[in-house]
Structure 1
Amino acid sequence: MSGTWLRTGQVAEAAGVNAQTLRYYHRRGLLEEPRRSNGGHRLYPEETVTRLRMIKAAQRLGFTLEEVADLVEATARPRLRARTSAKLAEVERKIADLRAVRETLIQAVDAGCDDLMTCTTSPRCPLPF
C-alpha cells in the first residue's frame, strides 16, 4: 500500500463520483474503513480511487452493487471468471428477450394497431393477450 492518503473529496473527484457515493459504498462494505486524521477527516489510501473506478465500471456492465461486492471479494479468489460468465449469460438472455419484444412491437406497428381494444379482436394482432 502506498503512503499517500487522500481525503474524501480528493478521492471522489479522482474517481469521478461524489462524496455521498463514496460514503454509501463504504457503508455497503465495498470500501475498507478509512483512517482518520487528527481533525477527524476520513483518509483513504490512493488505491481507493482504483477500486471506485472498478466498481463504477462493473456497474456500467450491468452488475448490481451486491454482485460488485462479490466481484471485489472474488479478486482474491479464482471466481471472477465464473461471475463474469454468469453475467454474460444473463445479458444474452435479456438481449434475446428484448429482440422478441422488438419483433412483436414491429409487428404491432405493421399491423396498424392504433386501438388496443380493436387490435385484440383482430386476427392480425401480434400482441400477446
Structure 2
Amino acid sequence: MGKPSEQLTIGAFAKAAGVNLETIRFYQRKGLLPEPDKPYGSIRRYGDTDVARVKFIKSAQRLGFSLDEVAQLLALEDGTHCSEAAQFAAQHLADVRGRLKDLKRMETVLARLVAQCHSHRGTITCPLIASLHGR
C-alpha cells in the first residue's frame, strides 16, 4: 500500500478535487498530472498533493490560462521563480485587457445594431442582418 497520505482511489480523488474522473484522466494524458504506479494486483492511489495540483490547475483555468500555460505555471510552482511567474502573468494580463477592449467594441456595435432593429419596425431589411452581410 502507498503512504498514508496516498489512499484515495481515482473516484475519491476526483471528488476531493471537485472534478469528474475523466478530467483526472485528461490531465494525466496532457502531462499535467502524474499517473501513480499501479502496485501489482492493486489499484492506483492518489494523495493530498495530487488534489492540490488539480485545484491549482482549475484555479489557473478560472483566471483564463490555457492548459499549455498551466503547464508552464506548474513548472514554476516551487515558489522560487516569482519574477518569471510575474512576467508570465503580466503577459496574460495584457492579453486579457486586449480581449476586454475587443469585447467592449463588440458590445458597442451590437447595442447599436439591436437599437436599430427596434427602431426600424415594418421595414423589409433588418439592420443587423444587413450589417452582417456588409450592406
- TM-score, length-scaled by structure 2: 0.77
1:48 to 47, 50, 57: 50
CA deviation vs aligned residue, 1:71-123 (integer Å, no higher than 9, x gap): 11122434211121111111111110010011111221233366149855xxx
In the other structure, the counterpart of 2:106 is: 101
**Aligned partners of 1:34 and 1:55: how far apart in 2?**
18
Structure 2 gaps of 5+ residues are none
Query: What displacement does 1:43 show?
Result: 1.7
Structure 1 gaps of 5+ residues are 121-126
In the other structure, the counterpart of 1:115 is: 126
Give the RMSD, CA atoms, in angstroms.
Answer: 2.4
Moved more, 37-46 or 90-99: 37-46
Whether 1:7 and 2:9 are equivalent positions in the alignment is yes
The residue type equivalent to 1:27 in the other structure is R
- Structure 1 segments (4+ residues) deviating >3 Å: 116-120
Query: What displacement does 1:45 show?
Result: 2.9
1:80 to 82, 85, 106: 85
Moved more, 110-119 or 57-66: 110-119
Query: What displacement does 1:3 show?
Result: 4.2
- TM-score, length-scaled by structure 1: 0.80
Over 3 Å counting, the alpha-carbon distance change for 1:119 and 1:80 in structure 2 is same
Seq. identity, %:
35
Higher share of residues assigned strand = 1
Would you say how many aligned residue pairs link Structure 1 and Structure 2? Answer: 122
The residue type equivalent to 1:62 in the other structure is G
SS in 1 for 2:45: strand
